[in-house]
Amino acid sequence: MGALFSVAEIRQAEQAAAAFLPQGSLMQRAGQAAARLAIELVGATAGSASVPPRPVLVLAGPGNNGGDALEVAANLAQAGIDVSIIHIASAAPSAPETAQALARARAGTASFADAIPPDEKWALVVDGLFGIGLARSIVGAARTIVEEVNAMECPVLALDVPSGLDADTGAVIGPDGIAVVASHTITFIGDKPGLHTFTGRDHAGQVALARLGVDDALLPAASVHLNDPSLFEFAFVPRAHSSHKGSFGDVAVVGGAHGMSGAPILAARAALYSGAGRVFVAAIDQGPAYDPVQPELMFRDAASLGTAGTTIVAGPGMGDSANAIRILAKALDGEEPLVLDADALNLVAASPDLQVRLAARSGIALLTPHPLEAARLLGVTAAVVQGDRLAAAREIAARYDAYVILKGSGTIIAMPDGEAAINPTGNPGLASAGTGDVLAGLCGSLLAQGWPGRDAALAAVWMHGEAADRLVAQGAGPIGLTAGELPAAIRSVLNRMVEQRPRRCALPQS
């Protein structure tokens, strides 16, 4: 479920399928599937029956993606829809199936144009300029077309991948590149990672998959999936009536250097609201004696905190003092589950000694970097990390034998064994201060309750995003959504997930 495949894997499956099919079969199937979706979209925008239907603009590039578009145009014209085609021909001879699609389009009622007619109002634009084979920036006349399409207000349906977007990474291809901003994408044979992370979420819109009849056996076993409760739902277990506060673990949030006490409090509230039995704020410097909003939280001096039996969340507002480094080293040397966030990640990135301690520890380590923190851990720039988020997260996970949550649009969850997931929940409301602290506290809470590292990482990211989505649905955002609103929303999501599971109780820990 939710399998994602690289361009190389899709190419291999496509070639294997084509070897057993008549020439052009996959292109024809792609054109039929996309035409069906296009007709649905045109119908959704048609409005009153008394208003003449608007035409559809089909953009066909020089390669096989353009052939898919020409098949779409021929099918739409055959369905009685007014279709205009802009075809960017290749100087080299077209593939036979693409030439066949062009002949079909020319034989129908669709009209061809050299440029987008000015002032035309379109029901839909179908983007088939460039597909998964594009390797350089879109330039020249094609770039002008993309700019014009991105200025339109009508729906845009991209074929396989929005033109100009890297299907593996979600980055716009090339320096000073440009990509179509689609409202919908129909992708073929298998779903692609780049449609769900980084700028892919902004460019792809709603993604639909058309398998084109390709046998599952032709695709490899997927190592990347869309994050979904089916990947971790067994970990949601109703609590036994005989539970007590010692049944669900202790969490200590280590942070709160001078002037930064808010960060660990946010993390601690998230741990409390997501079910940890006892939650401590272990302050680096003297700060508040208690939290007036959540007096259940207990405050301690980080230097004197005992860590035996306690899951540590280190980093929120931790600072970079010598005291912070000593306390972090002590936590790294322990065997209890450990979440590293924010300043703790920066301290590790700056210290070869701490890096060795992290890589060598036997207990679970879960890292939650944003792109700049990930770049510091890898010794590269944030642009390099964002250029291939999946590869960056996997490299950190392998280097430190840790579970890694690379935050951002389409958050990446990478496991030490190379498995990875891309998270589909969440919205721009999470792009505000403190939301990462909440995520770290949630991760620590699940680990303290005995969740395996893989499931804790997957579930925490999914619930964090789902909580933000529910808040937006209730009118609290995305603009102005605050981190402080998330813990209660996460609690609601968590309890709903538990309610949906079979009534099999988790017996309390001794």
Q: Is 436 annotated as a binding residue?
A: yes
Q: Give 226's strand partners.
A: 422
Coil/strand/helix, residue 379: coil
Q: Is 135 annotated as a binding residue?
A: yes
Q: Is 387 annotated as a binding residue?
A: no
Q: Is 163 annotated as a binding residue?
A: yes
Angle at 152 (CA atoms; ends 101, 141), nearest 5 degrees: 55
Q: Is 410 annotated as a binding residue?
A: yes
Q: Is 325 annotated as a binding residue?
A: no
Q: Is 401 annotated as a binding residue?
A: no
Q: Is 411 annotated as a binding residue?
A: yes
Q: Is 132 annotated as a binding residue?
A: yes
Q: Is 177 annotated as a binding residue?
A: no
Q: Is 323 annotated as a binding residue?
A: no
Between β-strands 224-226 and 250-255, what pairing exists: parallel, antiparallel or unpaired?
A: unpaired
**Distance from C-alpha of 113 to C-alpha of 103, rounded to nearest angstrom:** 16
Interhelix angle 435-448/262-273, nearest 10 degrees: 40
Q: Is 409 annotated as a binding residue?
A: yes
Two tokens at 372? 């700049």
**Sign for the pseudo-dihedral over CA of 146, 151, 157, 162:** positive
**Distance from C-alpha of 473 to C-alpha of 460, rounded to nearest angstrom:** 20
Q: Is 287 annotated as a binding residue?
A: no
Q: Is 21 left (phi over 0), alpha (psi -120 to 50) or beta?
A: beta
According to DSSP, residue 388 is labeled T
Q: Is 432 annotated as a binding residue?
A: no
Q: Give 413's strand partners.
A: 405, 421
Coil/strand/helix, residue 252: strand
Q: Is 133 annotated as a binding residue?
A: yes
Q: Is 136 annotated as a binding residue?
A: yes
**Distance from C-alpha of 451 to C-alpha of 432, rounded to nearest angstrom:** 28
Q: Is 227 annotated as a binding residue?
A: no
User: Do 24 and 212 form a contact (C-beta atoms < 8 A)?
Assistant: no
Q: Is 475 annotated as a binding residue?
A: no
Q: What is the three-state SS of 233-244?
A: HHHCCCECCCCC
Tally helices (H) and strands (E) across the chain.
16, 18
Burial class (CB in 10 A: 0-12, 13-18, 19+), 403: buried
Q: Is 66 annotated as a binding residue?
A: yes
**Sign for the pseudo-dihedral over CA of 69, 74, 80, 82:** positive
Name the binding residues for AMP. Answer: 407-411, 436
Q: Which residues are annotated as a binding site for K(+)?
A: 65, 127, 163
Binding residues: 64-68, 127, 131-137, 160, 163, 263, 317, 370, 407-411, 436-437
List, as residue ranges, the binding site for (6S)-NADPHX. 64-68, 131-137, 160, 263, 317, 370, 437
